[in-house]
Amino acid sequence: MHMSDEFAAIAHDFPDPFRLLIRETVDSTNDDLRALACGGAADGLVLLALRQTAGRGRRGAAWFSPAGESLAISILVRPQESKALWPRLALAAGLAIAEAVESFGPPTGIKWPNDVWIGRRKVAGILVDAGSDFAIVGIGLNVLTTHFPLEVSEIATSLSLETGLNPPRAEVLAAVVRRFAIRRKQISSDFNDLLNAVRQRCVLTDHRVSLSTSSGLKQGIVEGIAQGGELLLRTDSGLESLIQADEVRILD
């Protein structure tokens, strides 16, 4: 069976309104899906790249995604909720990935706002791009990779490395989509349910961290996640509530 056939077969069982578009090679799934969204593509389109040549993480950092080993996908969402709630989609996606990964065995952690960990190593990253009336949820998930480039080998892991198994990537994709179908509906009315599940997995709580914000570099101890999904950071000047941050590092 050709690789794309395996994915196409499993996509028949995606919950509504999710459907799969497979591309052999793209530079960035988020960029390609943005173009389709601007052209009127409907909510729920999942773009899967069999090969992604210029995937990116936060701040434009390159994302390592070798063909045949990882999942590089972007999901088009046209939320009914107000735009102020859209940042919560990153938490919904992170939780969906965490739950999908857990269904294959290993317990996970969520590194607010964009990463999923197994132990203290990153197994997945999320990049949410907002458009005028849509959001694109980009996901990179390491499934079968056993060798990482030197610069990320200390901080990256995969499902294969953690379980000793080689789960079919199509099954992992289906698990992610199934969980995201549930969690993305919770960014408004059921947000507390989503939030509690994220809090249980939050790897930053009670740790000293450094992070970069729009107003500069901050350091402090994370006291948890607030009711709106913000990170609660206790700094020398008091308790701060952060909606977004980059380069979040655990210092202790």
Dihedrals phi, psi of 116, to nearest 5 degrees:
-120, 130
Q: What is the mean pLDDT of residues 63-82?
A: 88
pLDDT value of position 55: 66
85 secondary structure, DSSP code:
G
pLDDT value of position 68: 87
Residue 73 pLDDT grade (very low, low, confident, very high; cuts 50, 70, 90): very high
Q: Where are the domains of the chain?
A: 3-201, 208-250
Mind spelling out the 3-state secondary structure of 126-175? EEEEECCCCEEEEEEEECCCCCCCCCCCCCECCHHHHHCCCCCHHHHHHH
The tokens for 36 are 């389709």
The tokens for 166 are 């080689």
Taking the C-alpha atoms of residue 92 and residue 179, their distance in angstroms, rounded to an integer, is 9
243 secondary structure, DSSP code:
S
| pTM across the whole model | 0.94
The tokens for 164 are 């000793």
The tokens for 134 are 């849509």
Taking the C-alpha atoms of residue 46 and residue 12, their distance in angstroms, rounded to an integer, is 13
3-201: CATH topology is BirA Bifunctional Protein; domain 2 (3.30.930)
Residue 109 clears pLDDT 70, i.e. is over it: yes
pLDDT value of position 59: 52
Residue 205 and residue 224 in contact, taking contact as beta carbons nearer than 8 Å: yes
Residue 252 pLDDT grade (very low, low, confident, very high; cuts 50, 70, 90): very high
Q: Which residues contact 164 (CB under 8 A, 6 or more apart)?
A: none
Q: Determine whether domain 208-250 maps to CATH 2.30.30.100.
A: yes
pLDDT value of position 57: 60
For 159-217, the pLDDT digits (tens) are: 999 999 999 999 999 999 999 999 999 999 999 999 999 999 999 999 999 999 998 99
Residue 147 and residue 154 in contact, taking contact as beta carbons nearer than 8 Å: no
Taking the C-alpha atoms of residue 46 and residue 192, their distance in angstroms, rounded to an integer, is 26
Q: Mean pLDDT over all residues of the chain?
A: 93
Taking the C-alpha atoms of residue 15 and residue 172, their distance in angstroms, rounded to an integer, is 15
Residue 54 pLDDT grade (very low, low, confident, very high; cuts 50, 70, 90): confident
Residue 151 pLDDT grade (very low, low, confident, very high; cuts 50, 70, 90): confident
Question: What is the sign of the dihedral through the CA atoms of 242, 248, 251 and 252?
Answer: positive
Fold identical between 3-201 and 208-250? no
The tokens for 63 are 């994302």
